Structure 1
Amino acid sequence: MERALFLLLLLLLSQLADSNAEEAFDVRKHLSTVTRYGFVKPTNNYFSPSNVPDGCIPIHLNLVARHGTRSPTKKRIRELDNLEARLKVLTRDAEEQMLSLQKVPSWLREWKSPWKGKMKGGELISKGEIELYDLGIRIRENFPDVFNEEYHPDVYAIRATQVPRASASAVAFGMGLLSGKGSLGPGRHRAFAVTSESRASDILLRFYDTCENYKDFRKRQEPAVDKLKEPILDEITSALVSRYGLNFTRQDTSSLWFLCKQEASLLDITDQACSLFSPSEVSLLEWADDLEVFILKGYGNSLNYHMGVPLLEDVLQSMEQAIKAQEENLAHGSYEKARLRFAHAETVVPFTCLLGLFHDGSGFQQIQREQPLELPPKPPQERNWRGSIVAPFGGNNMLVLYSCPANSSSKYLVQVLHNEDPIPMPGCDGSDICPFKVFKEGIVAPHLKSDYHTVCSVKLTKAKQNPSLTSRLAMLFRWLFLGNDDKWSHKDDL
């Protein structure tokens, strides 16, 4: 009897643990690059402590930020309209076949797209405005030595792409940064300048739009990436059909996952489309999205980030100018103290790769040798590469230049923060603080051999293909079907 009671107690404790695990799983943290910034950085945990040496003063700050949370694009709004019609067909067919609809969630039978009838899309929403506004306030408060002067566009340069959600993000950020510094309205706001380069020539923030070689690469590889995701979608589609009794297709599953991401991120609705998937299924769908980001924007091909070298050069140049101003003891207000940029995931992801962040294992040497890295491991294995961390809405990299007069080893230091957290740099012995010379020679200089115009030349596409990428995609495709064979991840196979 005692043994039976003991076993019953163990069973109850196990069920309670599983229940708590389900409750602890918040899908809003697992939406790849559709994740909202607040779920990456809880509001009470911004700006982690750092190990900047005593006596060091920040003299210049570089920011490369993604726009804030936005509405779905026009193309995606049409997909949701199609999903609405498709769900009606599925439930009607089930009724006509006299199938029970008891397992079908009631919301699914009546669902209408919240974006139905919208003729435009992709704009910054209020949640996105708040993300950037609050970021501006925090940066000012945490770096008072940088933002201690009266605003001038040549002292605090704010740049954005010509895409409205990026420029709107720059405006929201600037309003936070300069709140209380002017005379406009109750918030004592002030006017400020946001400059943009033409989309056709913006090689600093929209290099992926102007790089013909990359556009050709992406066009060729997108079908292969879609093929990679099919086994995951098929597996989950089968589970959905069994679970709810509706004749879902692979496209239905893909659209329902997209709806889940939009509902959870934009509307904080997690009990409709997201509730169709188990936590383990969400993890697989998130991983599939992360693979796409890795292959088409990240470490999957060196072209993805080498086309961003002009941006890295711009960051380095701004630091060198700040050091020169410091050495020459120029008057305050006569030199730039911050360069603040607002763009897209396609900008932030490659820039993050140029810094060598978020790769598994000893990938830094491979990055500098222009070799593709191993693909992120499949759940439940842990991985460093997560779109929700690398480039959520409002995601950012900050590079802070410090003057350290009392430091005998290096007079100038560079600190890298990702989403406001100091982050270890493989090119700086795993430290988030790097002597400027080491940062310049060890992290930046190896990339400078990749001239943008050479890398992006159309002729180069024909002459210098990357055969290893296609073979790696085919290998992963087999792995997804046949299971995890350790052989696929060996470097010799890359």
Structure 2
Amino acid sequence: MRELEKLASHIKELLKDDKEKNLSLQKVPAWLLKWESPWKGKLRGGELDTKGEEELYQLGIRVRERFPDLFNEEYHPDVYPIKTTQVPQASASAVAFGMGLFSCNGSLGLARHRAFAVTSESRASDITLRFFDCCQTYKDFRKSHEPAVDKLKEPIIAEITSALAKRYRFNFTRQDISSLWFLCKQETTLLDITDQACSLFSPTEVALLEWTDDLEVFMLKGYGKSLNYQMGVPLLKDVIQSMDQAIKAKEDNQAPGSYEKARLRFAHAETVVPFSCLLGLFLEGSDFQRIQKEEPLDFPPKPPKSRSWRGSIVAPFAGNNMLVLYSCPANSSSKYFVLALHNEHPIAMPGCGGTDFCPFEVFKESIVSPHLKHDYNTLCQVNLDQPKQKPETM
């Protein structure tokens, strides 16, 4: 939150300068005259806040209630394996979710919690959940294209800076506007405050600033570059492997408790966004056919035009994707179907003809197979001579 402390310091400098020049501050909102960063003096960041803990805890409870037949087995780490990245916020998310998922099923304390295992790979070799961090090609791409993204956003920021400077008769800089927009999002999400930083902007300006955020996510994490999501193939393979194993267990009539029933993974927006792209979610019109051909996509339409791609929907706080495998033995065309849930809501995958329940064979053929031709090591220039580290238990 250093950005907000810098903002507070600069606002104080501007206020002091205006007072020394006897300039009127009548147009400046009262809250800004005495504003301090709510995170002032905080030395460390990156942890899961209390609101996030509650969101993940409640999500775990809702998942258990939604799929009672899935979570009716006695807990075992091989039946309900939980993996997370080796990052404190992600691992805390996994723990909060697990506490909700397995609540009232143990013997610890009044809430009858139970212990459960959470494992992780080393950050240096976790190509399943932190594929973006292990991919040198992607890191080079991102570093070289961030200035281009900033250049696309610049006219919007400049226009809004000029508008706010006139509206409040205050010498805001472009950096101030970027920081105030960041503050608006933090206040809204973490503090439930909407009448301070957010109130500085008009609805039109908010729409434009949201679009600049969406553009950045699109270009650097989403459909803007095929590498962004192609490097997520190891995670897609992991998902398909879990489904194939579940089908085999069903076909072989394996005893309950002897096979995996839910594979639970916790990571980051940089994981969720590419995985959503691998599934073909949030595309416009014929875009699914274009990504199958690896053709570049147009930028998300600028307001006031409508668009499907919105970062606040694609990857909000506690954002999640679930792929649910259903057995339908009475169906004549297919015995197994896949349902995609995005943030707990059913969402049709375009490769499945727009239906919520996608035949497993169609899911594999139309959505998964086209991506499997890409090899992670080749895409990402991975040094195969590096020693692999064993998973660590938290």
The TM-score, its normalising length taken from structure 2, stands at 0.96
Which one of the candidate residues 169, 179, 184 is aligned to 2:93? 169
Which one of the candidate residues 14, 20, 31 is aligned to 1:107? 31
What does residue 206 of structure 1 align with?
A: 130
Pair 1:248–1:452, CA change in 2 (3 A) = same
What does residue 322 of structure 1 align with?
A: 246
What does residue 360 of structure 2 align with?
A: 436
Provide Cα deviations, 1:233-257, integer angstroms capped at 9, x if missing partner: 0000011011111111111111111
Which one of the candidate residues 354, 370, 376 is aligned to 1:452? 376
Pair 1:245–1:194, CA change in 2 (3 A) = same
Which secondary structure does the structure 1 equivalent of 2:377 belong to? helix
Which one of the candidate residues 119, 124, 127 is aligned to 1:195? 119
Which secondary structure does the structure 2 equivalent of 1:266 belong to? helix
Task: State the one-letter code of the partner of 2:337.
Answer: L
Distance in 2 of aligned mates of 1:79 and 1:129: 24
Given the alignment of the two structures, is residue 244 of structure 1 paired with residue 168 of structure 2, yes or no?
A: yes
**What displacement does 1:272 show?**
1.1
Distance in 1 of aligned mates of 2:46 and 2:77: 28
Given the alignment of the two structures, is residue 420 of structure 1 paired with residue 344 of structure 2, yes or no?
A: yes
**What displacement does 1:98 show?**
2.0
**What displacement does 1:310 show?**
0.4
The question of whether the paired residues in 2 share the 8 Å contact of 1:417 and 1:432 is answered with no
Distance in 2 of aligned mates of 1:370 and 1:192: 42
Correspondence list, 1:71-110, <5 A: 77-110=1-34
The question of whether the paired residues in 2 share the 8 Å contact of 1:306 and 1:447 is answered with yes
The question of whether the paired residues in 2 share the 8 Å contact of 1:301 and 1:371 is answered with no
Which secondary structure does the structure 2 equivalent of 1:395 belong to? coil
Given the alignment of the two structures, is residue 311 of structure 1 paired with residue 235 of structure 2, yes or no?
A: yes
Which one of the candidate residues 327, 342, 345 is aligned to 1:403? 327
Distance in 1 of aligned mates of 2:308 and 2:291: 16
Task: State the one-letter code of the partner of 2:36.
Answer: K
**What displacement does 1:96 show?**
2.1
Task: State the one-letter code of the partner of 1:138.
Answer: R
Relative contact order, higher structure (CA 8 A, sep 6+): 1
What does residue 46 of structure 2 align with?
A: 122
**What displacement does 1:458 show?**
7.5
**What displacement does 1:365 show?**
1.2
Distance in 1 of aligned mates of 2:235 and 2:24: 58
What does residue 63 of structure 1 align with?
A: none
Distance in 1 of aligned mates of 2:382 and 2:221: 19
Task: State the one-letter code of the partner of 1:124.
Answer: L
What does residue 487 of structure 1 align with?
A: none
Provide Cα deviations, 1:221-275, integer angstroms capped at 9, x if missing partner: 0011111111000000011011111111111111111111111111111111111
Distance in 2 of aligned mates of 1:393 and 1:278: 24
Task: State the one-letter code of the partner of 1:78.
Answer: R
The TM-score, its normalising length taken from structure 1, stands at 0.77
Correspondence list, 1:16-95, <5 A: 77-95=1-19
What does residue 290 of structure 1 align with?
A: 214
Distance in 1 of aligned mates of 2:382 and 2:142: 13
Correspondence list, 1:305-384, <5 A: 305-384=229-308
Distance in 2 of aligned mates of 1:205 and 1:372: 25
Given the alignment of the two structures, is residue 150 of structure 1 paired with residue 89 of structure 2, yes or no?
A: no
Residues matched between the structures, number: 383
The question of whether the paired residues in 2 share the 8 Å contact of 1:412 and 1:435 is answered with yes
Question: Any gaps of 5 or more consecutive residues in structure 2?
Answer: 384-394
**What displacement does 1:81 show?**
1.1
Distance in 2 of aligned mates of 1:229 and 1:438: 39
Which one of the candidate residues 194, 197, 208 is aligned to 1:270? 194
Provide Cα deviations, 1:261-320, integer angstroms capped at 9, x if missing partner: 111111111111111111111111011001000000000000000000000000000000
Distance in 2 of aligned mates of 1:87 and 1:270: 20
Distance in 2 of aligned mates of 1:240 and 1:196: 46
Provide Cα deviations, 1:411-456, integer angstroms capped at 9, x if missing partner: 1111111111111111000111111000011100000001101111
CA root-mean-square deviation:
1.0
What does residue 467 of structure 1 align with?
A: none
Task: State the one-letter code of the partner of 1:295.
Answer: M
The question of whether the paired residues in 2 share the 8 Å contact of 1:135 and 1:173 is answered with yes
Distance in 2 of aligned mates of 1:331 and 1:455: 41
The question of whether the paired residues in 2 share the 8 Å contact of 1:415 and 1:433 is answered with yes
**What displacement does 1:99 show?**
1.6
Distance in 2 of aligned mates of 1:417 and 1:126: 25
**What displacement does 1:347 show?**
0.1
Distance in 2 of aligned mates of 1:310 and 1:108: 48
Distance in 1 of aligned mates of 2:237 and 2:355: 22
Distance in 2 of aligned mates of 1:381 and 1:458: 41
Question: Any gaps of 5 or more consecutive residues in structure 1?
Answer: 1-76, 460-494
